[in-house]
Structure 1
Amino acid sequence: PSSIERMKTGICNEVFAFKVEGESYILRMNNDISQMRGSSLFTPKLAALDIQVPRIIADEYNIEKEGYGYQIQERLPGTDLGNVIQDLAEDQLKKIAKEIASIFKKLSTLPTDGSYGLVLDENGAKFSSWKEWVYDDLDSAERHARSTGFISEIRDLIEQVRAVVQEYEEYFFSVPSTTYYGDIAGKNVLIEKGTFTGLVDLDALAYGDPLEAVGRIYTSWHGTEYGKIYSDAVMDELELTKEQRDIVRMYALFHRFAWMCENGVAFNANTSGIIDAEEATKDREKIQKLLEEIERDS
């Protein structure tokens, strides 16, 4: 390679960007191939739906050969939406939102096996109902906070967040198993010169409620003008009802709480393992604002 650079985003795989004869590529590595092999299954499916995704040039999932599995992919132009969204014009945000809404619609046409949750391979997801996934994810967030000792600072929020989520238990039972891509907010959505250029990091799809992923978008930039323009545009393109938008806001609270609980958890070399007090304060403020918004409009 003429150049190689370790990418500092992502918490599952070790990722490097490199160039050979002027062409750019991505190398992804993991000694747990279950975290990565899904790309080889899902990338062709998304490409067949006319969704812009990177081609896989070479891959190896037998870790006995090198001690790890790897993928070499073409590198699509652009950077994560989260790096540039604050600089985008309203018309650019709305065009990107239209592309993202189109991805939701296309993925919903892929059949599921009736299971719910994260899908890493052809075996489907692990839960038999959407409610199971919701509470497992909530429990996982609390385990993260407990593992770092951070839980002692957020016990009051745990009760408030769980109370809001529990109001939707009947709804959770009614959610059909639908295919969608969850991690579609600040990361993995590539933007070049204000234009959507592709979707990356396709190791997992999800079966369940696509509004959960819209909630991630809503909460990612909640309280900013550009965030409101973008999330409103996504919801408008999906033609969400008032009731569905309320559900999105519940998921927004759900995810902001889960992300806060990851503070201080060392996932890989990109995460420090030290609780960031300033970030914790910001997260608490964001959660309080979402709680106030939900209560005001209920």
Structure 2
Amino acid sequence: MNAPTEQLAADIAAEVTGHTPSGIRRFITGTSHYVFEALFANRLPVVVRIGDQSARTEMEGAVYLSGLLRPRGVPLPEILAENAHGEVPWMVLQRLPGTDLGTVIANLTAAQLERIAISVSRAQTITARTGSAGRYGYAVQPEQAPYSSWSQVLESSLNRSRQRIMSACLFNPSMVDVVRTVLSGHGEQIDRIEPIPFLHDTTTKNVIVTQDGSFSGIVDVDNLCFGYPRYPAALTLAVLLAYGGPTEYVSAWLRHAEQPDDPVFRLYVSLFLLDLMAEHGQVFNGNERTSAPEERASLRQAFKDTVQFAWR
């Protein structure tokens, strides 16, 4: 299948709403689906998510999880129409007002960040109550989770990072071995972790915030992760350390979730810094970041500082 076009998004939006879009723009974040905003002269905008055939499972997961989480109070956008089973799977969603948190986070006050952190923590608490089947990793339903231990999830992430880093030749793959050594040192504690369901991508992306700092909701929930809910906070901190931003947002998140910032948490942060390094030099769906020397240097320094904390 060729990459979805703005015209295809416009046709889908027109079919669903009964109105011809006055404009179409593609969102430039996200490395999986092709996501467009359809604007109209006489109605509110909508979001059109389009995938290739391999994205069908994720689209089906999004439909299922919307039905599971929205009635419980997780602020996901309403699905207006979907064709997850089609040759070209797609869905049309309510457009939440605002933009990704990362776009505005540098301009928000401490009080605004605190309120957003409370909202994200509350959504995670609701998700944690949806149940587990004793398995770990990424899945739509708990019994589908692929691993029997949390450490296997972490090892899988390290293996993927090593493969990508070695293919791009922009970072030293020996950094993966450093994190694996730290992981082995915390292995007993990590393998006692219960598989709690959580929203794994509520980071500086997918948390939608208005320009004035109001929390609108969470987008792009195609599956859950079953493990320790500190994981997405660690990814968020990795992004802020690597690319800049107020790290006190993560401190507020952990505080309201009653989760510690300890060496195991910093191990997760180190793992995600490797994941960010591994994205450099890769080709996804046209939204990948251009690898810049200054960003690579920032990642290396953040990794060095974080690993030292994780060793304690």
Aligned residue in 2 for 1:267 = 284
What is the identity, as a one-letter code, of the residue corresponding to 1:145? I
Local SS of the residue matching 1:221 = helix
Shift of 1:294: 3.5
Shift of 1:92: 0.6
- For 2:297 and 2:220, the matched residues in 1 are separated by 30
Contact 2:230–2:259 under 8 Å retained in 1: no
| Correspondence 1:56 to 2:47 | no
Pick one of 277, 283, 287 that aligns with 2:293. Answer: 277
Aligned residue in 1 for 2:180 = 162
| Correspondence 1:76 to 2:96 | yes
Aligned residue in 1 for 2:252 = 233
- For 1:211 and 1:144, the matched residues in 2 are separated by 25
| Correspondence 1:24 to 2:45 | yes
Shift of 1:228: 2.9
Greater Cα offset, 84-93 or 283-292: 283-292
Measured against aligned partners, the alpha-carbon deviations of 1:24-72 in whole angstroms (never above 9, x if no partner) come to 10000111212322110111222122121100011012333xxx10000
Aligned residue in 2 for 1:196 = 215
Aligned residue in 2 for 1:286 = 302
- For 2:234 and 2:61, the matched residues in 1 are separated by 24
Residues matched between the structures, number = 288
Shift of 1:134: 0.9
What is the identity, as a one-letter code, of the residue corresponding to 2:246? G
Contact 1:13–1:29 under 8 Å retained in 2: yes
Pick one of 205, 219, 235 that aligns with 2:224. Answer: 205
| Correspondence 1:103 to 2:123 | yes
Shift of 1:224: 9.5
Pick one of 218, 228, 231 that aligns with 2:237. Answer: 218
What is the identity, as a one-letter code, of the residue corresponding to 2:48? L
Contact 2:121–2:256 under 8 Å retained in 1: yes
- For 1:280 and 1:160, the matched residues in 2 are separated by 18
Contact 1:90–1:226 under 8 Å retained in 2: no
Shift of 1:121: 5.4
Shift of 1:159: 2.5
| Correspondence 1:248 to 2:265 | yes
Measured against aligned partners, the alpha-carbon deviations of 1:213-261 in whole angstroms (never above 9, x if no partner) come to 22112222238996332111111111224xx633221111110111111
Aligned residue in 2 for 1:5 = 25
- For 2:129 and 2:109, the matched residues in 1 are separated by 31
* Structure 1 unpaired stretches of 5+: none
Q: Identical aligned pairs, as a percentage? A: 25
What is the identity, as a one-letter code, of the residue corresponding to 2:115? K
Contact 1:235–1:245 under 8 Å retained in 2: no
Shift of 1:188: 0.3
Q: Could you tell me the TM-score, scaled by structure 1's length?
A: 0.90
* Structure 2 unpaired stretches of 5+: 1-20
What is the identity, as a one-letter code, of the residue corresponding to 2:177? E
User: Moved runs in structure 1, 4+ residues, more than 4 A?
Assistant: 223-226
Local SS of the residue matching 1:219 = helix
Q: Could you tell me the TM-score, scaled by structure 2's length?
A: 0.86
What is the identity, as a one-letter code, of the residue corresponding to 1:282? S
Local SS of the residue matching 1:157 = helix
What is the identity, as a one-letter code, of the residue corresponding to 2:297? T
Local SS of the residue matching 1:18 = strand
Root-mean-square deviation over aligned CA pairs: 2.0
Change (3 A) 1:231 1:2: same
- For 1:53 and 1:36, the matched residues in 2 are separated by 14
Local SS of the residue matching 2:286 = coil
- For 1:123 and 1:4, the matched residues in 2 are separated by 39
- For 1:115 and 1:262, the matched residues in 2 are separated by 27
- For 2:94 and 2:259, the matched residues in 1 are separated by 35
